Every structure is written in structure tokens, then in C-alpha cells.
Structure 1
Amino acid sequence: MQKPSIFFLLCFLLQCFCSSKSESFVGVNYGIVADNLPPPEATAKLLKSTSFEKVRLYGADPAIIKALANSGIGIVIGAANGDIPAMASDPNFAGQWVNSNVMAYYPASNIIVVSVGNEVVTSGDQNLLSNLLPAMQNVQNALNAASLGGKIKVSTVHSMAVLGQSEPPSAGAFNPTFGDTLKALLQFQSDNSSPFMINPYPFFAYQSDPRPDTLAFCLFQPNAGRVDSRTGIKYMNMFDAQVDSVHSALSAMGFKDVEIVVAETGWPYKGDPNEVGPSLDNAKNYNGNLINHLRSKVGTPLMPGKSVDTYIFALYDENLKPGPGSERSFGLFRPDLSMIYDPGLSKSAQTPAPSAMTPAPTASATTLTPSPIPVMPNPKTPTTPAIRAPITPATPVTPVTLPPGLGIRGTATSFKPLHSLLLILVAFTLVELRRE
């Protein structure tokens, strides 16, 4: 074999190896509002067996953070809303929090983001709202002091209710009530290259408009599409429309370069009898088609060519969560680690399914026109649907669980055979070079 041939073959295999890695843009939420969850070690083992490269925690549970050490899985940890006032008023408290929850485990545990609070801006708590930015600043300063400012980002998570307008997507704008607060937060995030984290849920949009064509639009299924009346862009799914409405809002405020991260999205596989939309088929279709869409790397119409980092809700059901039955039925896995349903994240399902993205060619598209209120409701504040159509129970599918609120699950591709091939080829190349 000639040296050039060996070189080009080596490059080819190296490229295959790099492209065969599991999707870094797909993560899962791990909520613990439950009394039946498996031990952290078992959860860490489960995560490592999937294609999830990131997991979002709602707190900073030391057991799971330690269990994920040396796994390479990126970890988003959370500072509780209740810690925000102390973090804001006392830099030493923020420093101690960082020492206890970050420095104690990093870098073995790959902490990538500290989320200060959850949906604070839309919580209605003015004390938390006024303290949010100072708390984030103090956490950032503590990370800077530990030389981690460029490695671990500081952010906070928002509900879709931060938008005052979301239809059409190009007209997306923040609620003027939060304008000054968000502008200051976004300036901080722009200065520190941290992401804007948002919780879009097509499930709740469908609940407020339970028509068959809306369901297809929300589930990435064949549909006529919906045209943005301002730009003429046709949207084929609700997820893209929601994310682009956030992008438009950021752009309108002068922060179009702030990265968007979807901190939560998902679909419940069951719910109460009067709930519109929960079913095993719908959950499997939404999460499966969403994952295919992300894998395609087509992006959104306003942000083409790049998949937005997305955390699926959720790894497990959380049986102690309040609210309707759907809130306790978002999980992908059961407490015994079996799957509730398979959204296509197994090792043999790494190729996007083209049918999920194919629009119906015959029907006419709906035109999305400007609206003074968000058409994509806040998941924590479900709107009352105009029609309460009963949902036909789905036929049971192979186990996979989907907890109520944040997360996604997947399976990793094995790299061992490719590693061995590369090592053999490198060794052979060295031998050939020595002969010359």
C-alpha cells in the first residue's frame, strides 16, 4: 500500500469517527420530584448507555454529580430560586455555593452551565426578579476567580411567557413588562457568551388550539405548513416557529447573537381524561420527530444550518409533581430503568426519518398573522382549550419513559471497533514511513 493511500484512508476513518459521535445537541432533563427513582449510580449508568451527551439538573444534587464523574456527559446544575436573594446580597455566599457545588466536582464532573433560578422572570415574585441579575453576576465573579469563567456559563431559564408576541415568528417580541429586566440580563449574557435558555412546549400550544392540522404541525407530521405573513416563510412545525419567535425577540432587543438553548420540551404519554393531547403515540411522534429534526441539522428558518441545543423533558416520570395527570407522565424511562416507549434513540436508529419532515403537498398553508398575545402559551400556565376533544388511547408500545417536564433520552454509538481500526492503521502507517 502506498503512503498517500494510507494517509487518505486514515483521514477518511478519522472523519467517520468524528461524525459518528452521538449528538451533542440532544440532552435530557432529570427531575427528582418523586419517591421511587433509582439510585444516582443506576441513573448515571443509564445515561452513559444512551446518546445523551448532556443532562440538566434542577438543583445540584451531589450524588448524581459525583456519579457522572469521568463520563464526559455535560451537566447543567441549578441554583434554587430560594438561594437567589442570598447570592445577590452576599458575594461570599455565591463563592461558597460555587466552591461546594462546582469546584468540589469539576473537572471530573463536566459541569457546563450554572442556571440561577428557574422561570424567575415570569414568576411574579418581584424580590426574586430584582435579585436575579446581581445573583448571576456574583456567581459569574466566583467562577472567574476560580479561572472557570470561560468554561462554565451562567444563565437562567425562562418560560415562553416572557414573550408578549409570538405570532408570526418574525414578529416575536418580549413582554414589555419585562423589557428593562431582560435587557439587563441579556447584556450580561452577551458580555459573558452565555445562552438564553427557554422552555417551548408545542404540547401546550396544541392544547389551546386542538385541531387535527395543529396536532400534525406540533408533531412534525405531514401538514400544509403555516406561512409567516411578514416574511413569506413557510413553517412546517411548531417547534421551529416557537424557537424563531424567541430569536426574533432577541434580535428586536439588539441581542441576535445570544445563543438560544431549549432547556425543556417534551410531550406527555398520558394524562387525565379531560386533557387534550397526551397519548403514547403523540409522545413518541413528538420526541422521535424532534430528534430526527435536530439530527438533520437543518436548523430553523431564521437560524439555518445549526441544531439548537435541546433538553427533552424528561428522563423519568416524577410521581409527586402537582397538577394534571400529564405533569406526572413526561418520562422516557420507568424507575426500573425500562423504556416507556422508544422515540428512536437506540443505537440502530441514528439516521433521520425523512417522512417526519415531509409536508403534505395538496393542502393550503395557514397564514400566520401578527397577534397582540402569545399564541404559544407558557407550559406552566396552560390556557383553556376551546375544544376538549377526547383522545383515543394509544396502543401500548415497547417500554420507554417520559417524565413530566424536562428531558430526553438516547443511546450512544459504540466507538470501540473504530478505535481499534484507527490504532491498527496508525501503527501500519508508522511502519510504512520507517521503511521509507
Structure 2
Amino acid sequence: MRREILFGCLLLMFGSLSIALGAFVGINIGTDLLNLPSPEQVVAILRSHQIAHVRLFDADNHLLSALSETEIEVMISVTNEEVLGIGQSPAAAAAWINKNVAAFVPSTNITAIAVGSEVLSTIPHAAPVLVPAMKNLHKSLVSSNLNSQVKVSTPLSMDLIPKPFPPSAATFNSSWDSIISGVLDFLKSTDSFFMLNAYPYFGYVQSSGIFPIEYALFQPLSPVKQIVDPNTLFHYDSMFDAMVDATYNSISAYNLSVIPILVTETGWPWAGGANEQDATVENAETFNNNLIKRVLNGSGPPSQPAIPMNTYIYELFNEDKKPGPLSEKSYGVYFSNGSSVYTFSLDTSGGATANASGGFCVAKKGSDTSSLQDGLNWACGPGQANCSAIQSGQPCYMPDTIENHASYAYNDYYQKMRSVGGTCDFGGTAMITTVDPSNGSCIFTGSTNSSIGGTLTPAFGPEGPPGNASPGQLPDIVVLLLATLVLLIV
């Protein structure tokens, strides 16, 4: 039995959108930015970063055409503006399906339709037609013989659960009972999934210090900070798990069998205004990389451990045209030229961001500053590393820290000298990572980002501000796969 479970976990890493087939992390694609790449360039970015699942906030036909023959699984969306018309007219629903689904499948791998976005929270006047809209679309899919391939659901917000902790006592806002009951009945009858938008960033900020930030960032909690549901005694290692479990418990109040939850949005902003001190590059990098590790281990939250928490990160690009605070414009994990805002990878093959040498040489976090300075001086002097990129005004100068500059210099030396015995040590201040530390316009020696994996020109729009990241670590997914295989053999 243990072997079967472990083998199942291995399969989860390569699953499709079907909840039953495995765990995945996808990404949302918003288009509200000044320098939006062309559809072909967007797809090139997706492919170069090995992104296999995307959610569109509309059904842009140009992008759907560009996604043809890529095998990328695509969730398209009915915009909030379209919900009323589709909910009131079966003919409008049929026309929408014909234009945006039937015209593209099977060459474009459309697997789901998100009907609106947080309709009950953002456009409550449309609530009465939400379920009719979902039913009209599903009937049109049945007529086109596409209902087995394309699921229909609607993303709902955690705002609908007034008190999400403890998860075991969570319930939906009772004023929406009839609508939510209709949504759940529809999902159950069509074998679909519950779409949830869950942001620990907001949960943490709004908790006013009740919860430690480690809890929001998937970081280990000290014994005195353990989060335990007093009713079930379940331990929650992350706010994300607790949010998903709060939703499962809210669904259970309707006396239905379990409906799998698909997290359609989550993320953490990497920049914010003066009153948004938790919106930082370090926190965003930590959250998203830990989220990926958490989801790809294939297990669910404490109450539903057998159901993977498939998730879409918000979002691919920074949408600088969006209204609101700076944080709203700063969720993107890539700049519009395809380079990473910070160390980040969804590559489940483990090879897209690592160079042929087997890794990049970077400074160890927390190393003594004077030792790092000595290592930097040696690399740029006797080591003959090319340190021009970390000079003032150059792409890798910012952030202006010893750790950042040492990482660049260490890596440049290592990539050039490893074939003749050069090592990555520098007095114990260096380490090998398989994750490409390049960010923005700062491209580390040996990186494939200089040509975006050979599939793009170096840039097709203004690059974001360089140097927003420190060389963090995301464990190589290949290591996780090998570890699983070892367990299978044992």
C-alpha cells in the first residue's frame, strides 16, 4: 500500500487539470499592463519557463490561437460584464461557447471555464443569474459534446467566509445561502470543482498581528506559535491550508459529498506603498516558492489529505495599469521580457533554469560580511571574474549589497573556471544552487535567460527595475522526484 501511495504522489507531479490525476501549480495571465507582449511572445515565455497550466481572465481569441498545439492546459473566463447576458440567454451562452471554445478545441487545450470572478463579492446584482449562466454554458458544452473535457465553475472569494478560523467552525455568509447552494448543486451534478481565491497576504495583514508572518509564508513555526484547531486538534502549518480547510468545512454544511477545491488565485505582492510594509520581494519570493513546494507534494489540507490543492499563482506579469495601491500592480513573477522578478520557477522538469554545469555558485545567506567582502575582492581580482555588471549603474548593481555582488562574482568565476578545477567555496561563504539567480535585466553567467531558453529575443519591452531579488533557493523538483523514486524502491 505504501508503494502505491508513493507512486501516486509521483504521478501527481505530472497531472492534468483533473483533480483526480494530480497536483499542479499554474499561473494567471492578466493583461492590464502598458507593455503587454504579443500573444506569441506570451506563449514563448510560458514554454521557456515550462508553465503547463494557465488561467486567462477572459477568452482572448488571439492568445487562444497562439496556445494552439502547445498542450498547455487553459482555463478561460467569462468576464463579469458577460455574466448577465449569458445568465439570461441560452442563445448567448451557445454563441459564447461556439466562439471561444468549439472554435479552438482540440488544438488549444481548453479544460475549464471560470464564470465571472468573485461575482458575489464584486457584482452582487448579478448573483441571481450566476447559476443560470453556469447551467447555460454547460448545456451548450453538452450540445457540442465538449462537457467531458471542459468543466464549468465560478471563482469565489474567501470574503464569503466571515470567520475562517478555526477552519472546523467556518461557514459561508448565510445571506448567500440560496446562491451558494445552487452553485454547489451544479458543481456536484457536473463533477466539477469549487474555484477559490485565497490570499494569505490579506489574511495576514487583516489579522493585525494575531497570526505570525511565518504562518502566512509556509515557514516553520516555533512550538509556542503552533496553530491548532481546538475542535479537531488539526495542526495547521500554513494559513493557506487553513483557508482551504475553512472552505471545505463551509461546503460540508450543505450536506453534500466532498467537492474538490481548485485554488484559482493566490499570491503575494513584491512591492507596496508606505503602509504596505509586508509587500516585499523577500516575502513574495518566500511565499510563492514555498507554495510550489507545498502544492507539489500532492497532499491536501488536514481535513482532506488525499485531495491535492491544485493552485494558480497570481500572476504572470505586473499589471501596472490596474487601479488601487502599489501592491495591486506588483504581483507579477516575471517581467514582460520573460525574466524573473525574483528567484522563481514552475519548471517541474528541473532543467529550464539550471545551466549545463549542474548549478550556479551564489553567496550563502547569512554569511559573515567581512568574509563575503574578502571573497568578492578575490573573485574580482586574482580570480579574474568579470565584475563589470555589478558596478554602479550597471544591471546587477542593485540591490547594492555585499551578498548580491558576491553572488554575481562568485558565479562568474565558477562558470569560467570549473572546467579547470575552480570550485564554489570562497571560504565557506558560497554554495551551489540549481535555480537561476538572474532577475530583471541582471543575467548571471551560464543562464539560459540571456536568450530566454533560445526561444525569444533578449527583450520585447522595457525590462523591470534590476536587482529586486536576493539569490534564494527553491529546491530542485528533480531532487523531489528522485527522492520519491528512492522511497518507491525501498
TM-score in same-fold range (> 0.5): yes
Question: Which residue of 1 is the match for residue 170 of structure 2?
Answer: 172
Q: The residue matched to 1:154 in structure 2 has which SS? A: strand
Q: CA deviation at 1:17?
A: 9.8
Which whole-Å deviations, capped at 9, do the CAs of 1:159-194 have from their partners, x for residues lacking one?
A: 111113311011121100101110011101110011
Q: Provide Cα deviations, 1:65-90, integer angstroms capped at 9, x if missing partner.
A: 11111111111101111212221222
Partner SS, residue 304 of structure 1:
coil
1:237 to partner: Cα distance: 0.7
- 1:57 corresponds in structure 2 to 56
Deviation at 1:49, TM superposition (A): 2.3
**Aligned in 2, Cα 1:69/1:123: closer, same or farther, shift over 3 Å?**
same
Q: CA 1:119/1:15 → structure 2, altered by over 3 Å: closer, same or farther?
A: closer
In structure 1, C-alpha distance between the alignment counterparts of 2:219 and 2:27, rounded to whole Å: 23
Query: For 1:252 and 1:394, how far apart are their aligned partners in 2?
Result: 54
How many residues align structurally? 351
In structure 2, how many angstroms separate the alpha carbons of the residues matched to 1:345 and 1:333? 12
Residue of structure 2 in register with 1:185 after alignment = 183
Deviation of the 1:345 alpha carbon: 3.5
Q: Measure, in 1, the Cα distance between the counterparts of 2:9 and 2:135.
A: 42
Cα distance, 1:38–1:304 mapped onto 2, change above 3 Å: same
Q: State the TM-score, normalized to the length of structure 1.
A: 0.75
The structure-2 alpha-carbon separation of the partners of 1:275 and 1:413, relative to structure 1 and needing over 3 Å to count, comes to: closer
Whole-Å separation in 2 of the counterparts to 1:394 and 1:197: 42
* Structural mapping, 1:144-293, within 5 Å: 144-211=142-209, 214-223=212-221, 224-293=225-294
Partner of 2:184, secondary structure, is: helix
Contact 1:279 / 1:394 at 8 angstroms: preserved in 2?
Answer: no
2:30 — aligned with what? Answer: 31
Could you tell me which runs of 5 or more consecutive residues in structure 2 were left unpaired when the two chains were aligned. Answer: 1-6, 16-21, 354-398, 405-436, 441-462, 465-473, 479-490
C-alpha deviation, 1:15, in angstroms: 10
The code of the aligned residue for 2:228 comes to V
In structure 2, relative to structure 1, the CA distance for the partners of 1:78 and 1:302 (3 Å cut) is same
With a CA cutoff of 8 Å and minimum separation of 6, indicate the structure with the bigger relative contact order. 1
In structure 2, distance between residues paired with 1:17 and 1:298: 11
Tell whether 2:335 aligns with 1:334. yes
SS at 1:230's partner residue? coil
What is the distance in 2 between the residues matched to 1:16 and 1:157? 27
- 1:112 counterpart SS class: strand
Q: Structure 1 residues 212-221 or 65-74, which shifts more?
A: 212-221
Q: Give the letter for the 2:92 counterpart.
A: F
Q: Distance in 1 between matches of 2:346 and 2:338?
A: 15
Provide the C-alpha distance between the structure 1 equivalents of 2:209 and 2:84, rounded to a whole number of angstroms.
44
Provide the C-alpha distance between the structure 1 equivalents of 2:321 and 2:13, rounded to a whole number of angstroms. 38
Maintained 8 Å contact 2:261/2:309 = yes
What's the offset of the Cα at 1:255? 2.8
CA distance in 2 between partners of 1:92 and 1:15 (Å): 43
Q: Does 1:120 align with 2:160?
A: no
Q: Please report how far the alpha carbon of residue 52 of structure 1 lies from its aligned counterpart in structure 2 after TM superposition.
A: 2.5
CA offset at residue 336 of structure 1?
1.4
Instruction: Return closer, same or farther for 1:15/1:269 CA change in 2, 3 Å cut-off.
Output: closer
Deviations 1:372-411 (A, max 9, x none): xxxxxxxxxxxxxxxxxxxxx9977741699xxxxxxx99
Instruction: Measure how far apart 1:225 and its partner are.
Output: 2.2
Q: Percent identity?
A: 34
Contact preservation (8 Å) 1:227, 1:235:
yes
Instruction: Give the deviation of 1:306 after TM superposition.
Output: 3.5
Q: Distance in 1 between matches of 2:476 and 2:28?
A: 17
RMSD of aligned C-alpha atoms? 2.8
2: CA distance, partners of 1:149 / 1:71: 21
Q: Deviations over 1:70-126 (max 9, x none)?
A: 111111101111212221222111111100000111111011111111111122532
> Which letter maps to 1:151?
Q
- Asked if 1:399 is matched to 2:439, the reply is yes
Once the 2 structures are TM-superposed, how far is the Cα of residue 256 of structure 1 from its aligned partner?
4.0
d(CA) in 2 for partners of 1:285 and 1:325?
A: 20
**Structure 2 Cα separation of the partners of residues 216 and 104 of structure 1:** 46
Distance 1:186 1:34, change over 3 A: same
Unaligned stretches of 5+ residues in structure 1? 1-13, 351-392, 403-409, 415-436
Find the counterpart in structure 2 of residue 137 from structure 1: 135
Q: Distance in 1 between matches of 2:8 and 2:136?
A: 42
TM-score by length of 2: 0.67
Would the aligned equivalents of 1:271 and 1:278 in 2 still touch at CA under 8 Å? yes
8 Å CA contact 1:207–1:276 kept in 2: the answer is no
1:413 Cα deviation after fit: 8.6
**Displacement after TM superposition at 1:198 (Å):** 0.8
How far apart, CA to CA, are the structure 1 residues paired with 2:136 and 2:90? 6
Please tell me the residue identity of whatever aligns with 2:179. T
